[in-house]
Amino acid sequence: MEDYKTYTLQNYRSLPQISHIPDECIEAIEIVGRVFPFKTNSYVAERLIDWRNVPDDPIFTLSFPRREMLTPEQYARIRRLVYKQNKRALTDYVSQIRSRLNPHPSDQMRNVPAANGTRLEGMQHKYRETALLFPREGQNCFAFCSYCFRWSQFSGSDEFRFSTGADIAPYLAYVKEHREITDILLTGGDPLTMNPSILRNYIEQFLMPGMDHVRAIRIGTKSLSYNPSMFTTGRHAGAIISLFDKTVKTGKHLSIMAHFTHPVELSTDEAKAAIAAIRSSGAQIRTQAPVMKHINDDPRVWAAMWQRQVELGCVPYYMFVPRDTGARHFFELPLSRCHEIFRRAYSSVSGIARTAAGPCMSTGHGKIQVLGTSEIAGEKVFAMRFVQGQNPELPAVPFFARYDAEATWMDQLKPAFGEKKFFFEL
């Protein structure tokens, strides 16, 4: 499927640009790449990264391992084991680190539905209207993001991997039975790494009789950033756009949930052409990304990104708070800072670019948006609300948390006004 050359820990030294970066960056790739999955491609390397600014270039940080992603102790120990070539001890220690990094955040495994007493692994039904499918053939990406909250999917460990079985009939039966499901989200990994014939098989199942209650199909993908030519000049471009066109013509809403993390990803002719090709099919492109330290923690970056997305015909959808997994200590920001970035970016764009909800945390209870800070009855608080909830009565209900300037995730917050628990925990 890939039209660009792929680079991993095994062959990244053949990248022409590698010879121009500091030795400490090379070592960090070798060491940190043992813990976090690493893959990039020639498009990212040649078209998106400013190698004169490495390691501080945001796209380099987005796609290459950085030393700071491990603690100093972890880094030093892995370095010793690598240079001693102690493979067994290295494997054991890497497994220990990964197991402590919350590989399945937000109660991912709790939201797996069951049919006839059997868990439908590779499916989540957390929200009433929306079911997520993790096609086993799509648990890959064109390149890996260093912050990826689903890093465990690519770790090589079957213990962490989450995907459908070979037979998708039980999943389809579940959707047919649960007519409250109006939206199907194909996710991963990246479903667009699948061969178009396999992707077609998945999508066409929801165009069949008995699936009339499914009104929207979403595809979560980073392909517009990492492999845009697949929609224009790639060998399967015609088949993909044709599938999108067919889906829309059946009356289903098709949304490409595009992950754009930085405006430079929208700057190339390839990305612009890919967006135009998808929109020509009638599919809509909605955009989302987390706000990440060292990558896009600047309101000017978000304002520029949203404005450019709108100009290209995309719809800004979510600004996420980085999930509590992986190298969170390197990427996460205090919730107060996340909101300040959102507020300043939001106020810098016109109304048609103010469609994104944020900053939002995807917690076990649902997507929680930080609306801002206020002082009520002498207490400084975060004003918050659910954008989506496991309990369908939760969305749009406001609530308050005690202000905490250092908190980076919901589980670090306490209810305001002396309450023992938040209302959704009672």
Domains annotated on the chain, with CATH: 6-99 (no CATH), 108-352 (3.20.20.70), 363-426 (no CATH)
The pLDDT value given to residue 163? 84
Q: Which of 410, 239, 248, 250 is nearest to 324 (CA)?
A: 410
Rounded to an integer, the average pLDDT of 131-135 is 96
Helix (H, G, I), strand (E, B) or coil at 27: helix
Percent of the chain with pLDDT over 70: 97
Rounded to an integer, the average pLDDT of 168-197 is 96
CA distance 96 to 170: 35
Residue 169 reports pLDDT greater than 50: yes
CA distance 315 to 272: 14
Phi and psi at residue 144, to the nearest 5°: -100, 135
Query: Which residues are bridge partners to 178 per DSSP?
Result: none
CA distance 182 to 212: 9
Predicted confidence band of residue 155 (pLDDT cuts 50, 70, 90) = low
CA distances 411 to 84, 176, 273, 331, 344, Å, are 40, 36, 42, 18, 26
Q: Which of 209, 191, 74 is nearest to 134 (CA)?
A: 191
Rounded to an integer, the average pLDDT of 11-29 is 93
Q: For residue 112, give both structure tokens.
A: 């797996």
| 321-360 pLDDT tens trace | 998 888 999 999 999 999 999 999 999 999 999 999 999 9
CA distance 220 to 185: 7
* Residue 238: other Cβ atoms inside 10 A: 13
pTM for this model (two decimals): 0.94
The pLDDT value given to residue 154? 72
Residue 289 reports pLDDT greater than 80: yes
Predicted confidence band of residue 410 (pLDDT cuts 50, 70, 90) = very high
| 241-284 pLDDT tens trace | 999 999 999 999 999 999 999 999 999 999 999 999 999 999 99
Cα of first residue to Cα of last residue in the chain, in angstroms, is 48
The pLDDT value given to residue 1? 42
Rounded to an integer, the average pLDDT of 285-306 is 98
The pLDDT value given to residue 208? 95
The whole-chain average pLDDT of the chain stands at: 94
| 384-406 pLDDT tens trace | 999 999 999 999 999 999 999 99
| 170-181 pLDDT tens trace | 999 999 999 999
What are the start-end ranges of the E strands in 291-378?
315-320, 357-362, 366-376
Rounded to an integer, the average pLDDT of 51-78 is 96
Predicted confidence band of residue 215 (pLDDT cuts 50, 70, 90) = very high
The pLDDT value given to residue 20? 85
Side-chain-facing half-sphere of 28: CA atoms under 13 Å = 21
Q: Which of 10, 41, 15, 11 is nearest to 193 (CA)?
A: 41
CA distance 157 to 163: 13
CA distance 174 to 184: 12
Rounded to an integer, the average pLDDT of 65-91 is 94
Q: What is the CA radius of gyration of the chain?
A: 22
The pLDDT value given to residue 160? 67
Residue 50 reports pLDDT greater than 50: yes
